[in-house]
Amino acid sequence: MARDVRIGVVCSCVLLVWAAALTLSAQTTSSRAKRAVPAGKLRTYYIAADEVEWDYAPSNQDHMSSGGKFDAYGKIFVEQAKNRIGKVYRKAIYREYTDETFATLKKRPPEWEHLGMMGPLIRAEVGDTIKIVFRNNATQPYSMHPHGVSYKKDSEGTPYPDMTMEQTGLVPPHQTHVYTWEVPERAGPGPNDPSSIVWLYHSHNYEPKDVNAGLIGPMVITRRGMARPDGSPKDVDREFAALFMIIDENQSQYLQHNIDTYAGDPKSIDKLEAVPADPDGNAHLVLGRGFAIVNHKATINGFMYGDGPMMTMKVGEHVRWYLLSMGDGFNFHTPHWHGNVVTVAGQRTDILPLSPATFVTADMVPDNPGIWMFHCHVSDHMTSGMTTHYQVLP
Ligand SMILES: [Cu+2]
């Protein structure tokens, strides 16, 4: 009898657990149905790799010095000579077009003029799909390889052994390819991130040569529910992106073209010339001078010595900075804002570290009006041009 009771109790327990499991399963299914996420937007971009003549200092002035005159170091990095290329180089950059005919460049909005050499800002909200129609107008095979978003092999833009260019999204000259990048939760802001975060895209055929040629651009992903229709974060008044990069023109696909086109006497060039001395003749083991050295352009968005458009904001605005770096092993930078401070992942600073291929999102509410320096704090990077200004209006 006692044994029958025990069996009965056990049976009842099993039935109860089974019933509870069924109920829970039904609830989970219905809450999944309730939580069914509306399909995100399809955001389409028409982007080409174009070969252009790029000027690292278009105003031909050192905006960081009084009178705008380049000092002895500045002259080393910008002056053309019989055995120097100067400040204009052929580069390949990403440019946005209005449609699939790639006949008309899309005008860059004034608030994004400061991107300079970087490609167009690609935006999406978590849940969206990004479609890139990519046209390679250049003379080399190039691609678009994204960070953060989700892709299949044919949208990775990176070579693999035993795979064709088409299978991996590499694009021969004069060809077009469509990349599809999904934007799942993991491509968007994490728990400690603000409402949007920055990633990079770049060409990844011969990656070092491609990015030194100039094929690099920013991508911003906004948290689900936090985006305006254009993808920008609702809680931010103004955004800026800054790529701190010493561009190594020795490693560009276009080095020989630049020598032949811009040097006064190409035959006089010693490609390995590197003198570990400053203009005064004192030892400078890091910077120095010589043809190989001056082909390293210390830039913010492809501009040296503050020659890019002024980045302007107002006191009290919620300003978001997207900071990026890329390139060879000397690309360790310490962007520093004079006059105001930022928060990064809940921590306050006015300077932060970048290493090659890092992406940092920093928020600022400027309280201090004026025109302020914004520069890399590594001494030889400052000296060779990695400096600019930003402006805070009252
Ligand atoms: Cu630096």
Q: Compute the distance from residue 349 Cα to the ligand 1 centre, in Å.
A: 17
Sheet holding 216-222, edge to edge: 122-125, 216-222, 196-202, 145-146
Instruction: In whole angstroms, give the CA distance from residue 256 to residue 81.
Output: 16
Instruction: In whole angstroms, give the CA distance from residue 129 to residue 80.
Output: 46
Question: Strand 296-300 relative to strand 311-314: parallel, antiparallel, unpaired?
Answer: unpaired
Q: What is the pLDDT of residue 120?
A: 98
Residue 101: how many other CB atoms lie within 10 Å? 9
Q: Compute the distance from residue 42 Cα to the ligand 1 centre, in Å.
A: 37
- For ion ligand 1, residues whose CB falls within 5 Å: 333, 376, 378, 381
Q: What is the pLDDT of residue 26?
A: 43
3-class DSSP assignment, residue 115: helix
Instruction: In whole angstroms, give the CA distance from residue 379 to residue 388.
Output: 14
Contact between residue 156 and residue 198 where contact means Cβ atoms under 8 Å apart: no
The DSSP-derived string for 130-161 is EEEEEEE-SSS-B--EESSSB--GGGT----T
Q: Compute the distance from residue 386 Cα to the ligand 1 centre, in Å.
A: 7
Give the amino acid at 12. S
Q: Compute the distance from residue 288 Cα to the ligand 1 centre, in Å.
A: 16
The pTM of the full predicted model, rounded to 2 decimals, is 0.89
Q: Compute the distance from residue 120 Cα to the ligand 1 centre, in Å.
A: 23
Q: Enumerate the H helices of the chain as residue ranges.
A: 2-34, 72-78, 165-168, 207-213, 255-262, 291-294, 379-383
Q: What is the pLDDT of residue 31?
A: 46
Strand partners, 311: 390
Instruction: In whole angstroms, give the CA distance from residue 347 to residue 268.
Output: 52
Q: What are 347's two structure tokens?
A: 């921590």
List CB contacts of 61: < 8 A, sequence separation 6 or more.
Answer: 68, 69, 70, 305, 307
Residue 210's nearest CA partner among 132, 142, 120 is: 142
Residue 386's nearest CA partner among 318, 344, 335, 349 is: 335
Strand partners, 241: 322
Number of residues written out for the chain: 394
Q: What is the pLDDT of residue 38?
A: 54
Q: Compute the distance from residue 131 Cα to the ligand 1 centre, in Å.
A: 34
Contact between residue 118 and residue 299 where contact means Cβ atoms under 8 Å apart: no
Question: Strand 296-300 relative to strand 238-248: parallel, antiparallel, unpaired?
Answer: antiparallel
The one-digit pLDDT tens for each residue of the chain (394 residues) are 344 444 444 444 444 444 444 444 444 444 444 445 557 999 999 999 999 999 999 999 999 988 899 999 899 999 999 999 999 999 999 999 999 999 999 999 999 999 999 999 999 999 999 999 999 999 999 999 999 999 999 999 999 999 988 899 999 999 999 999 999 999 999 999 999 999 999 999 999 999 999 999 999 999 999 999 999 999 999 999 999 999 999 999 999 999 999 999 999 999 999 999 988 899 988 888 999 999 999 999 999 999 999 999 999 999 999 999 999 889 999 999 999 999 999 999 999 999 999 999 999 999 999 999 999 999 999 999 999 999 999 9
Q: Compute the distance from residue 388 Cα to the ligand 1 centre, in Å.
A: 12
Q: Compute the distance from residue 327 Cα to the ligand 1 centre, in Å.
A: 12
Q: What is the pLDDT of residue 342?
A: 98
Q: Compute the distance from residue 381 Cα to the ligand 1 centre, in Å.
A: 5
Burial of 135 from C-beta contacts in 10 A (0-12 / 13-18 / 19+): buried
Q: Compute the distance from residue 124 Cα to the ligand 1 centre, in Å.
A: 30
Q: Where are the beta strands (DSSP E) in 229-366?
A: 238-248, 296-300, 311-314, 319-325, 335-337, 342-344, 347-349, 359-364
Contact between residue 251 and residue 214 where contact means Cβ atoms under 8 Å apart: no
Q: Compute the distance from residue 383 Cα to the ligand 1 centre, in Å.
A: 10
Q: What is the pLDDT of residue 28?
A: 44
Instruction: In whole angstroms, give the CA distance from residue 390 to residue 37.
Output: 40
* Domains recognised in the chain with CATH numbers: 42-252+296-393 (2.60.40.420)
Residue 77's nearest CA partner among 288, 374, 243, 265 is: 288
Q: What are 285's two structure tokens?
A: 């083991």
List CB contacts of 176: < 8 A, sequence separation 6 or more.
Answer: 100, 133, 134, 135, 136
